[in-house]
Chains A and B, each alone.
Chain A
């Protein structure tokens, strides 16, 4: 089984709706990174969470890490077409960000 599971695999939401993407690790994380990728392009850093219970927000995107540091959620409020893309979580199990393990990704489509 995968060390890092992401759900859902894909998501279609209407513009203006909220959505949540989950990332679950089979073991304790040192850190959890969220990235966004447009098809055929590189990854754009969104947020990094390190402390249990930590929550960070940037514009309409909020990410949380649970107290046990094994699960993270990414929440988008009032989604827009610009939010469409692939969202990837990356787990740091070493504490150095030098070897990230990536989740399977969530493909988000936002309809008008």
Chain B
């Protein structure tokens, strides 16, 4: 399957600082990428849909000024957690939508980034 990378895999930051997480599709172009958040022992919660060349679409309850998303190229989307606080500590996973041309499309997931805010 296609490969999606995320960087960094782990980050620890102080409260009040901003953290940028990168999501790259390595062997295909993705006009659409997704950002999810996963709490311990919980399922994935879709935060936003990142569209290349346009504004991201945020899910209800997700603060767009808090979680800035930029999809500047067909292979890169970034999520910036601004003024991070301990409650933002979580596991963030991105995925990239692969348009297969077959009966169904597929999301390929990155390995995730564990953010810890002290």
- With an 8 Å Cβ cutoff, the count of chain A residues facing the other chain is 25
Asked whether A100 lies within 8 Å of B114 as measured between CB atoms, the reply is: no
Asked whether A40 lies within 8 Å of B112 as measured between CB atoms, the reply is: yes
Asked whether A35 lies within 8 Å of B43 as measured between CB atoms, the reply is: no
Mark interface residues in A8-42 (1 if CB within 8 Å of B CB, else 0): 00000000000000000000000101010000111
Residue of chain A at shortest CB distance from B40: A39
Interface centre among A31, A42, A99, A105 (most CB of B within 10 A): A42
Asked whether A103 lies within 8 Å of B43 as measured between CB atoms, the reply is: yes
Say if the beta carbon of A65 comes within 8 Å of chain B.
Answer: no
Asked whether A98 lies within 8 Å of B49 as measured between CB atoms, the reply is: yes
B98 smallest CB distance to A (angstroms): 9
Asked whether A97 lies within 8 Å of B111 as measured between CB atoms, the reply is: no
Asked whether B106 lies within 8 Å of A88 as measured between CB atoms, the reply is: no
Residue of chain A at shortest CB distance from B44: A102
Identify the A interface with B (CB < 8 A).
Answer: 31, 33, 35, 40-45, 48, 50, 88, 90, 92, 96-105, 107
A21 smallest CB distance to B (angstroms): 14
A-B contacts, 6 of them at CB < 8 A, read A40-B112, A41-B112, A44-B109, A92-B104, A98-B32, A99-B49
Asked whether A42 lies within 8 Å of B44 as measured between CB atoms, the reply is: no
Instruction: Collect the chain A residues with CB atoms within 8 Å of residue B1's CB.
Output: 45
Instruction: Collect the chain B residues with CB atoms within 8 Å of residue A101's CB.
Output: 46
B4 smallest CB distance to A (angstroms): 8
Q: How far does the alpha carbon of A105 sit from the alpha carbon of B42 in the complex, in Å?
A: 7
Q: How far does the alpha carbon of A83 sit from the alpha carbon of B32 in the complex, in Å?
A: 31
Instruction: Collect the chain A residues with CB atoms within 8 Å of residue B46's CB.
Output: 99-101
- Given known A41-B112, A104-B43, contact A97–B107 (CB-CB < 8 A): yes
Asked whether A100 lies within 8 Å of B42 as measured between CB atoms, the reply is: no
CB-contact partner of B109 in A35, A40, A98, under 8 A: A35
